[in-house]
Amino acid sequence: MERTSVSKLIKNGELVFTQQDSFSYVLDSAELENVSSLVLKKGARINLLLLDDAATKLKIVLKENSSLDFKSLNTFEIKNSEKTFDLRANTELKLSFADFSAGKGVEKVTVNLLGRNAKCNWFLSSISTQKDNKEFKVSINHIAPDTTATVDSYGVAKDESRLVFSGVSHIQTNAQKSKTKQNARIMVFSRDAIAVAKPILKIDENDVQAGHAAALGQVNEEHLFYLRSRGLSENEAKTLIIMGYLKPILRNFEDEEIKQKIEKLILERV
């Protein structure tokens, strides 16, 4: 996996991408240590992979007609963090978070759809184990009309951990013809694990489409029986089921090495 350095693009704590910059970057926490904001200038199309994201506060701005495919793979300690994305007109933001972090923390992500036709898709696969206590607060604000957002969060809570998916999708007045969807699903694996889903919709405009769904529960007994009836042990069956549940996020990561790393991580945690 080749890495192009971004140090040349950083000035005064601001990392700026323009249309001329190459397409893909892999960043780790060291490179973002002094960066507090990321700017995509007009027309920039950037693919960013953040490994072990330690950024505690980051503001990302997408100027008109730019697009950002932001992927994050977290395997170390979770930290309280706040990321705000400001999207101008005709921008597209794809957020894929593969979370295998440990510990206690709240990751807050806020997306402001400020310009017409701005679009955002959020995808999260998260596992909490042992005594983890993790919350993902994903809020979307539809401020301009014709904006679209989807939030899909999938989680697995094991042992005595606590996993919370929360956030508000707010369609403000004058954001007509906006569409917003929230989907929070957490599978619970033990009696002591806690899963909380709070997908909240706030609608202040009439001509819009909005929906939310939450599903929390244990592994489907019928699925477990089906796999076991073919000879798979309870553990093997549960592993296959969890893998199947969390693997879809792999589709969002193109790099083969990363895909394999994520798959291995899922297997380890399970």
Partner 1 sequence: MRELTIKDLHVSTEGKEILKGVNLTIYQGETIALLGPNGHGKSTLLNVIMGHPKYMITSGTIELDGQDITCLGPDERSKAGIFLGMQYPAEVPGVINADFLKAAINVRNEKPISLYNFYRVVDGTTKELGMPLDLANRFLNEGFSGGEKKRNEILQMMILKPDFVLLDEIDSGLDVDAIQSVANALKKNQTPDRSFLIISHYARLFDLVTPTRSLVMINGRIVLEGGMELIQKIDKSGYEFLKLEHGIEIEKEAETMNQISIGVCATRERF
Query: Locate tokens 């503001």: which residue?
Result: 59
* Other beta carbons less than 10 A from residue 264's beta carbon: 10
Q: Smaller CB distance to partner 1: residue 221 or 256?
A: 221
Considering the rule CB under 8 A, would residue 76 count as an interface residue with partner 1?
A: no
In the chain, the amino acid numbered 159 is D
Reduced DSSP (H G I as helix, E B as strand, rest coil) percent helix, strand, coil of the chain, to 5: 15, 50, 35
- Closest distance of CB 175 from partner 1, Å: 21
Round to whole Å and give the CA distance between 56 and 129. Answer: 22
225 binds partner 1 (CB under 8 A): yes
- Helix then strand count (H, E) for the chain reads 3, 17
Residue among 109 and 266 whose Cβ is closer to partner 1: 266
Nearest to 13 by CA among 35, 33, 41, 32: 35
Q: For the CA atoms of the chain, what is the radius of gyration?
A: 19
In this chain, which of 2, 20, 191, 231 binds partner 1, going by CB under 8 A? 231
Its sign, for the CA torsion 146, 141, 34, 52, is: negative
For residue 200, state whether it binds partner 1 (rule: CB under 8 A): no
Rounded to a whole number of angstroms, the minimum distance from the CB of residue 178 to partner 1 is: 19
179 binds partner 1 (CB under 8 A): no
Site for partner 1 in 234-263 (CB under 8 A): 234, 236-237, 240-241, 243-248
Instruction: List the one residue from 1, 220, 254, 264 that touches partner 1 (CB under 8 A).
Output: 220
232 interacts with partner 1 by CB under 8 A: yes
* Positions in the binding site for partner 1 (CB under 8 A): 185, 187, 197, 212-223, 225-234, 236-237, 240-241, 243-248
